[in-house]
């Protein structure tokens, strides 16, 4: 891993520096935003991240087995043709370290490090109605001001710590996968993993061979298909590089932007034999989104089609997992309507003698003791290490954790008290000149192409605000209409019928609500183009009061 120069937080707490723009977060979103605003619009920009390195998700999630489940050829930026040609990869999916190295390369390539201040959390950002400027305060007490604030805080970034009685008494190590230390020795230890989403499945499959014993604590079993990871030859990579123009064209004009053609065939329009053939073919190729969207067009919308896919996966679990009791615990019975998962050899891992499964649905966790985890059947699962693969306070989690105040001093917590909302996933009423990357009700896709779409559009909106010498914010009506659009589209799918993070239903006490535009990237881009073509319809441009003659 390359070590980037780290900009230390300023120690002079009294100093105040003025910028055109502040970017909060240095993951995929923040890195590209900094490049765009500084290198293309020519603004003075400072980016901040609480982390000690750039990379966002790929800085924090260093757990064993951490892997992108978007194929590597489209889990990257597309904005620079030379970058696309220069940067190589050698496996179908990219490992955490590969993606981190890639993002570090991008930072170096575009000379961004000098304007990224690491080890610096942003505690507060407060808008001044009179001057149309933001005052931004770091967790170290440094204060800067800026005309624009871009929040690239990450939608899967604020970790979800379970509130389990006695958790603080555990004598071994407790590690959340989203804050994994650089080195952690698991060999020869008794390890428990709570959670079996994307993360849990990856970590379980990766650590099982090295630990003495692994206990998977499963509350809601999930449908999973093979990832189908494999090495890629240099010839395959060269062929993809030669085809990038049409690949990105397809991605931008698709629904989920994962780099495969989505099916247009309804599942029930073909014979049972053909259905099974298609499921098997895609199971063999691997990939969760491919299985849900590349097999048939209505798995996520039609209950009968959904059940056909679900029962195919259930039959695979029965076939693969030899112990009938383990297979029972691992077999989902509800709709196949969470984010579609894939993993390398996940179900096969449960055939290992050193892997057991605790059924939390039947026997929930009662407490954590110094020795391990006690479940409702009275059993104490003795552990040396407890891994929490319990996910994230997704989408708005990092917003609610900041003291973010818009017009009239209204906090984001007040503005989003009922539910987090936005216009176009990018802006929210009452917070002028604040632009969100992957804010609430943004697109539900492979994320780098959506991030690029948003960053490029934000740049246009900033340029427009510069020209008009005014602060820009969406009207409450435009925001309301966008929320309704997102709700209407979500209601056409099966996703809201199941509790998961994509509707904010994974964190106790959080309101279940629509959090994504599920209409696909092509439609999302069309919506953005339409708003822009109509002179940024739905936005108000308000000059600073301090500059308006009395
Ligand atoms: P992030 O990468 O999350 O970066 C946000 C940054 O903001 C963080 O570094 C954080 O420290 C910083 N930050 C937040 N609040 C503050 C603050 N107040 N002050 C300072 N800094 C702050 N997506 C896909 O499309 N395909 C995949 O295969 C895929 N795999 C994933 C695997 C894992 C393990 C996880 C957790 C997510 C995955 N995702 C995947 C989603 C992934 O988060 C996005 O693809 C992408 O990396 C998001 O980039 P980002 O810049 O928007 O946010
Ligand atoms: P997640 O999908 O929200 O899964 C969290 C898991 O923890 C669930 O199994 C949940 O069970 C369990 N859990 C939470 N609190 C619990 C408690 N108190 N007791 C018992 N179990 C508890 O989180 P994630 O796996 O980290 O994935 C989040 C998202 O990150 C993914 O959907 C994906 O978008 C992204 N991601 C992608 C990859 C990849 O393959 N590229 C890898 C990792 C993450 P319940 O279901 O019962 O609540």
Q: What is the pLDDT of residue 9?
A: 40
Q: Is the CB of 391 under 6 A from ligand 2?
A: yes
- Look at residue 47 and tell me whether its pLDDT is greater than 90: yes
What distance in angstroms lies between residue 205's CA and the mean position of ligand 2's atoms?
A: 15
pLDDT of residue 547: 56
Q: What phi and psi values does residue 77 have, to the nearest 5 degrees? A: -80, 150
Predicted pLDDT of residue 28: 98
pTM above 0.75, yes or no: yes
Q: Give Cβ neighbours of residue 351 (< 8 Å, ≥ 6 apart).
A: 320, 321, 322, 323
Alpha helix (H) residue ranges in 286-337: 288-289, 303-320, 324-330
Tell me how far apart the alpha carbons of residues 22 and 269 are, in angstroms, rounded to a whole number.
Answer: 52
Instruction: Measure the CA–CA gap between 221 and 79, rounded to whole angstroms.
Output: 39
| Ligand 2 neighbourhood includes 200 CB (under 6 angstroms) | yes
Position 546 scores a pLDDT of 67
Nearest C-alpha neighbor of 100 from the set 134, 76, 121: 76
Best mutation site among 63, 198, 509 for ligand 2 pocket (most ligand atoms within 8 Å of CB): 198
Once rounded to an integer, what is the mean pLDDT over residues 319-331? 98
Ligand 2, atom 48, residue with closest C-alpha: 506
Q: Establish whether residue 9 lines the binding site of ligand 1, counting it when its CB lies within 6 angstroms of any ligand atom.
A: no
For range 330-349, the mean pLDDT:
97
Task: Give yes or no for residue 527 having a pLDDT over 90.
Answer: yes
- Residue 385 φ then ψ, to 5°: -135, 135
Q: Which atom of ligand 1 is nearest to the CA of 401?
A: 18
Residue 494 pLDDT grade (very low, low, confident, very high; cuts 50, 70, 90): very high
In sequence order, which residues have a C-beta less than 8 Å from that of residue 242 and are 6 or more positions away? none
Q: Stretch 61-89: mean pLDDT, rounded?
A: 98
Cβ of 199 less than 6 Å from ligand 1: yes
Cβ–ligand 2 distance for 135 under 6 Å, the answer no
Q: Where are the alpha helices (DSSP H) in 23-95?
A: 28-34, 57-60, 81-86
How confident is the prediction for the chain on average, in pLDDT?
A: 95
Does the pLDDT value for residue 549 go beyond 80?
Answer: no
The pLDDT, as a whole number, for residue 172 is 97
Query: Is pLDDT of 2 > 70?
Result: no
- Report the distance separating Cα 473 and Cα 423, nearest Å: 9
In angstroms, the CA 288 to CA 68 distance is 11
Buried b (16+ CB within 10 A) or exposed e, 458-491: bbebbebbeeeebbbbbeeebbeebbebbeebbe
Q: Report the run of H or E that residue 93 belongs to, with start and end.
A: strand 93-95
- Ligand 2 atom, smallest distance to 500 CA: 3
Extract the runs of DSSP E, i.e. beta strands, from 376-530: 380-382, 385-388, 403-405, 434-436, 442-443, 471-474, 516-517
Ligand 1 touching residue 24 (CB < 6 A): yes
Percent share of the chain, pLDDT over 70: 96
- What's the pLDDT score for residue 338? 97
The string of pLDDT tens digits covering residues 156-207 is 999 999 999 999 999 999 999 999 998 789 999 999 999 999 999 999 999 9
31 ligand 1 Cβ < 6 A: no
Report, as an integer, the average pLDDT of 68-86. Answer: 98
Distance from residue 295's CA to the centre of ligand 1 (Å): 28
Give 201 Cα–ligand 2 centroid separation in angstroms.
Answer: 9
Residue 196 Cα to ligand 2 midpoint, Å, equals 6
Pocket lining: 56 vs ligand 1, CB cutoff 6 Å:
yes
Question: How distant, in Å, are the alpha carbons of 259, 291, 523 from that of 253?
Answer: 10, 19, 8
Rounded distance from Cα 505 to ligand 1 centre (Å): 19
pLDDT surpassing 70 at residue 428: yes
Average pLDDT of span 25-52: 98
Rounded Cα gap, residues 92 and 70, in angstroms: 9
Tokens matching residue 225:
């298909």
Distance (Å) of CA 277 to CA 224, 274, 280, 498: 18, 5, 5, 27
Q: How many CB atoms lie within 10 A of CB 547?
A: 11
Cβ–ligand 1 contact at 122 (below 6 Å): yes
- Cβ contact 149:21 at 8 Å: yes
Q: Which ligand is closest in space to the CA of residue 499?
A: 2
- Any ligand 1 atom below 6 A from CB of 454: no
Which ligand is the nearest neighbour of the Cα of 71?
1
Q: What are phi and psi of 320, to 5 degrees?
A: -85, -45
With beta carbons less than 8 A apart as the criterion, state whether 294 and 260 touch.
yes
Tokens of 304: 């009968």
Could you give the percent of the chain with pLDDT greater than 90? 95
What tokens were used for 221? Answer: 């079993």
pLDDT recorded at residue 6: 37
pLDDT of residue 7: 40
Contact 472, 164 (CB under 8 A): no
Mean pLDDT of 316-334: 98
* Mean pLDDT of the region 31-36: 98
Q: How far is the CA of 197 from the centre of ligand 2 (A)?
A: 4
Distance in Å, CA 27 to ligand 1 centroid: 6
Atom of ligand 1 nearest to the CA of 48: 20
The predicted pLDDT at position 11 comes to 38
Residue range 17-46: average pLDDT?
97
DSSP 8-state symbol, 36: I
Average pLDDT of 323-345?
97
* CA-to-CA dists, residue 211 to 158, 188, 263, angstroms: 28, 5, 41
Average pLDDT (385-407) is 98
Atom of ligand 2 nearest to the CA of 219: 47
Is the minimum distance from the CB of 390 to ligand 2 under 6 angstroms? yes
Query: Could you identify the atom of ligand 2 that is nearest to the CA of residue 163?
Result: 18
Q: How far apart are CA 62 and CA 482, in angstroms?
A: 36
The token pair that represents 261 in the structure block: 């053609």
- Say yes or no to pLDDT of 3 above 70: no
Upper half-sphere CA count for residue 52 (Cβ side, 13 Å): 5
């Amino acid at each position: 891993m390359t070590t980037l120069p780290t900009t230390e937080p300023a120690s002079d707490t009294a100093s105040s520096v003025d910028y055109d723009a502040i970017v909060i977060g240095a993951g995929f979103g923040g890195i590209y935003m900094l490049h765009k605003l500084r290198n293309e619009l020519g603004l003075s920009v400072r980016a901040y991240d609480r982390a000690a390195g750039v990379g966002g998700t790929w800085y924090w999630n260093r757990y064993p087995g951490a892997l992108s489940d978007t194929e590597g050829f489209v889990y990257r930026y597309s904005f620079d043709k030379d970058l696309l040609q220069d940067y190589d990869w050698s496996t179908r999916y990219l490992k955490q370290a590969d993606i981190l190295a890639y993002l570090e390369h991008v930072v170096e390539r575009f000379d961004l490090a000098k304007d990224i201040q690491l080890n610096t959390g942003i505690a507060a950002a407060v808008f001044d109605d009179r001057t149309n400027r933001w005052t931004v305060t770091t967790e170290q007490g440094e204060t800067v001001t800026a005309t624009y604030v871009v929040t690239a805080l990450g939608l899967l970034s604020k970790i979800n710590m379970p509130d389990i009685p006695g958790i603080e008494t555990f004598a071994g190590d407790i590690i959340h996968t989203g804050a994994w230390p650089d080195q952690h020795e698991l060999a020869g230890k008794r390890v428990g993993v709570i959670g079996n989403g994307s993360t849990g499945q990856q970590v379980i499959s990766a650590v099982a061979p090295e630990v003495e014993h692994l206990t998977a604590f499963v509350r809601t079993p999930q449908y999973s298909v093979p990832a189908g990871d494999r090495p890629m030859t240099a010839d395959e990579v060269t062929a993809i590089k030669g085809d990038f123009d049409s690949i990105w064209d397809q991605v931008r004009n698709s629904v989920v932007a994962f780099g495969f053609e989505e099916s247009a065939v309804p599942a029930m329009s073909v014979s049972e034999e053909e259905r099974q053939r298609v499921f098997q073919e895609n199971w063999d190729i691997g990939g969760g989104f491919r299985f849900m969207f590349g097999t048939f067009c209505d798995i996520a919308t039609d209950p009968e089609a959904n059940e056909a896919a679900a029962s195919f996966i259930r039959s695979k679990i029965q076939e693969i997992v030899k112990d009938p009791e383990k297979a029972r615990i691992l077999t989902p019975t509800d709709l196949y309507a969470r984010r579609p998962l894939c993993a390398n050899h996940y179900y096969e891992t449960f055939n290992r003698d050193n892997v057991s499964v605790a059924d939390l649905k039947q026997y929930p966790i009662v407490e954590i003791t110094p020795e391990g985890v006690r479940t409702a059947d009275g059993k104490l699962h003795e552990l040396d290490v407890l891994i929490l693969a319990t996910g994230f306070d997704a989408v708005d989690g990092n917003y609610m954790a900041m003291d973010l105040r818009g017009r009239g001093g209204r906090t984001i917590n007040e503005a989003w008290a009922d539910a987090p909302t936005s216009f176009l996933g990018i802006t929210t009423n009452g917070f002028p000149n604040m632009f969100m990357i992957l804010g609430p009700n943004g697109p539900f896709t492979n994320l780098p192409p959506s991030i690029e779409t948003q960053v490029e559009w934000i740049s246009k909106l900033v340029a427009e605000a510069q020209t008009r010498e005014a602060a820009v914010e969406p009207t409450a009506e435009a925001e309301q209409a966008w929320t309704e659009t997102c709700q209407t589209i979500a209601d056409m799918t099966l996703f809201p019928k199941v509790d998961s993070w994509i509707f904010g239903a994974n964190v106790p006490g959080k309101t279940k609500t629509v959090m994504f535009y599920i209409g696909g990237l092509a439609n999302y881009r069309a919506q953005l183009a339409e708003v822009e073509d109509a002179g940024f319809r739905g936005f108000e441009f308000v000059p600073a009061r301090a500059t308006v003659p009395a």
